[in-house]
A and B are shown apart, each in its own frame.
Chain A
Amino acid sequence: MASKKTEGGKEQASGGFTLADVTKLVDSLEGTEVRSIVWTRAGEKVVIRRGPAPVNMLAPVAAPAPVAAPVAAPVSPPAAAPGAAKAAEKPAEKPGHVVTSPFVGTFYRAPSPDSLPFVDVGSIVKKGQVLCIVEAMKLMNEIEAEAEGKIAEIHVLNATPVEFGEKLFRIEPA
C-alpha cells in the first residue's frame, strides 16, 4: 500500500530527507499503532498517513501540493475537484469544504478587537491556517482550515453567537 509521492515528481536530492530516510521511517511504523506522523527537518516536511490512504510527501511552504489530500469531505471520484464543469449546477451543494463550529460560543474573526481579520472572502488559505476564534467561557478555540483553498463565503458576522455545528466558512479549491 505504501506508495510514495515527492514534490514535483523529483526524488528528494537537496536538503532534508532522502528516500532512504523515508523508507526507514515507513518501515519502522510497520506493525505499530501509529496512524500518522509529521516529520520536519531542514525546512522540509514529510507527512505519512497509514492505512487506506496513500503515503504523501509534501513540501512545506513552496508550491501547493499536487494532490490536495482530501481531508474530511466525503471523497467523490477524483476527477470532480478542479476545473471540472461549472459549479453552479446544483445550488444545494456548493463546492468545497465547509468549516463548522465545534461548540456553542461567540465567533471572532480577529485575534483582538484592534487586529485585522484572520481571513477575508477571497483569502487563499493553507491547511492548518487559523480562520477564526470561537470563544465559550473564556476558552479560546482557534479554528483551522481543514483544507487548502480560497475562502468563498463567511457565514457569520464578527462577534456574534454561533451554535454547535453551525457553518462558519466555505473554502473552495483555489
Chain B
Amino acid sequence: MGELPPGSEELVLAFLAEAADDFVSGEAISGKLGLSRAAVWKHVEALRRQGYGIEAVPARGYRLASIPDRLGALEIGPLLNTHDLGQVLHCAEELPSTNDRARELAEEGALHGEVVVAESQTAGRGRRGRAWSSPPGKNLHLSAILRPDLPPQRAPELTLVASVAACEACRKAGVEAGIKWPNDLLVRGRKVAGILTELSAELDQIHWVVVGIGVNLNAGPDDLPPELRDVATSIAVERGQPVPRALFAAALLAEMEHWLDRHAAEGFEPIREAWRERSVTLGREVRMDGEAGETTGIAEDIDASGALLVRTRAGIVRVVSGDVRLVARVDPAGG
C-alpha cells in the first residue's frame, strides 16, 4: 500500500461516527472516500490503536462501539446537538489556559459559539489570579466565546446563565450539584466546578464574552492536592464511576445554548428563577469579605440583575462582587 491521502483516517472515523450505532460496510466507506478496502482496514486498525472501539462483523461491516476518553473535535463534534456552541471547536493537548486562548481567538475575530478545550492547562486561572489546578486528561477545561446582543451593564447576568447550565449538566450526569453565588458549583459543600467570565466591551457595546468553565470530572481523590481534598470533589467521585468526558462536554454546551437562548428571548427573569431553584446559597448564613472587614448575614434572594441580597444587622446589603462564603452549618448529624 502506498501513500495514504492525509486525513483519511479522520474521514473514516467521521463516517463511522455519523452512522452512530449502525454498521457501515467496508465497501460503502471505500466507495465514498475513494480508498481501497485494504486502506480502510488499515485506518480502522490505526484508530483501534488510538483507543477507538470499532467492531468488524463479516457481511455487515464496521461499527463505532466506543470512543477513547479524549476531548478532541473528533470525539465531541459528533455528539453535539447545538446550532452555535461548539460548532467550531479548538481542541488542544495543553494550553496555558483555555480562557487566554479564547480571548486571543476573540480578538482575532472568532465567531459567537466558538469553543476552546484543552486536556491540560499549565496556568489555569480562577478569580483574581488564583490558580485552578487540575491533572491532565481527567477533567474538563472549556471556554466559550460569546458575542451576545446585550448592553455591557447586563453582561454579569451571563455568569448566572452559565452556572445554571453547568448545574444542569452535572445533574444530568447524575450528580446533585447546587450553585453557590454567583456561580460556583458545589456538591455536599465541596466545589465540583468553577466559572470565570471575561468581558471586552465599550460603554455601549460588548465586543466579546469568554465564559471559562472548569469541571472536575474524572479526577480521583488522589488527583487532588491534599489541601483541596476537603473542599473539592469530582463528578466521578460523587457518582461512583467515571463519566465519558466528550459526552459531558457536549451536554454542557447543549445546556449553555439552551439557557443562553432563553436569556436572549425572555431576559433574566427565567434565569433568576432557575438559579434560585438550584441555589445552595439562599437561606444560608454567609460571610462577605469587604474592605471594612467581614460582614455576615442571611442570603435572602438575588435581585433582578443577579446581585445577592443579604440581610445583616444593618439591614439588607446588596452584594455585587467579591467573595461570599457559606458559614458552616452546625449540623452534628451530618448531611
- A136-165 vs B: 1/0 string, CB under 8 Å? 111111101010000000000001110010
Within 8 A of A (CB), among B212-266: none
Could you say which residues of chain A place their CB within 8 Å of the CB of B135?
none
CA distance A135 to B159 in the complex (A): 11
Within 8 A of B (CB), among A10-68: none
- Shortest C-beta distance, A92 to chain B (Å), equals 22
Given contacts A100-B203, A105-B320, contact A138 B129 (CB under 8 A): no
- Shortest C-beta distance, A53 to chain B (Å), equals 16
Give the residue name and chain of the A residue nearest to B210 (CB).
Answer: A140
Chain B interface residue count, CB cutoff 8 Å, equals 29
- Shortest C-beta distance, A128 to chain B (Å), equals 10
Chain A, interface size: which category? 20 to 34
- Shortest C-beta distance, B205 to chain A (Å), equals 10
Give the residue name and chain of the A residue nearest to B184 (CB).
Answer: A138
Could you say which residues of chain A place their CB within 8 Å of the CB of B321?
105-106, 135-138, 161
Residue A169 lies at the interface, judged by CB distance under 8 Å to chain B: no
Stretch at the interface among B27-35, B60-68, B149-157: B149-157
Could you say which residues of chain A place their CB within 8 Å of the CB of B155?
103, 139, 141
Given contacts A103-B156, A137-B321, contact A112 B198 (CB under 8 A): no
Given contacts A105-B320, A164-B153, contact A137 B128 (CB under 8 A): no
Could you tell me if A137 and B159 are in contact, using CB atoms closer than 8 angstroms? yes
Could you tell me if A112 and B130 are in contact, using CB atoms closer than 8 angstroms? yes
Within 8 A of B (CB), among A84-143: 100, 102-106, 108, 111-115, 135-142
- B5-25 vs A: 1/0 string, CB under 8 Å? 000000000000000000000
Could you tell me if B198 and A102 are in contact, using CB atoms closer than 8 angstroms? no
Could you tell me if A142 and B203 are in contact, using CB atoms closer than 8 angstroms? no
Could you say which residues of chain A place their CB within 8 Å of the CB of B160?
137
CA distance A102 to B203 in the complex (A): 5
Could you tell me if A137 and B183 are in contact, using CB atoms closer than 8 angstroms? yes
Could you tell me if B129 and A112 are in contact, using CB atoms closer than 8 angstroms? yes
Could you say which residues of chain B place their CB within 8 Å of the CB of A114?
129
Could you say which residues of chain A place their CB within 8 Å of the CB of B209?
139
Could you say which residues of chain B place their CB within 8 Å of the CB of A141?
152, 155, 198-201
Could you tell me if B198 and A104 are in contact, using CB atoms closer than 8 angstroms? no
Within 8 A of A (CB), among B112-164: 127-130, 152-153, 155-156, 158-160
Could you say which residues of chain B place their CB within 8 Å of the CB of A111?
128-129
CA distance A103 to B198 in the complex (A): 14
Chain A: residues with CB nearer than 8 A to chain B? 100, 102-106, 108, 111-115, 135-142, 144, 146, 159-161, 164
Across the A-B interface, the 8 shortest Cβ-Cβ residue pairs:
A112-B129, A137-B182, A106-B321, A137-B156, A136-B156, A141-B199, A103-B153, A139-B197
Chain B: residues with CB nearer than 8 A to chain A? 127-130, 152-153, 155-156, 158-160, 182-183, 195-203, 209, 291, 306-307, 320-322
Complex A-B: 9 CB contacts under 8 Å: A105-B320, A112-B130, A113-B128, A115-B129, A137-B160, A137-B183, A137-B307, A159-B291, A161-B321
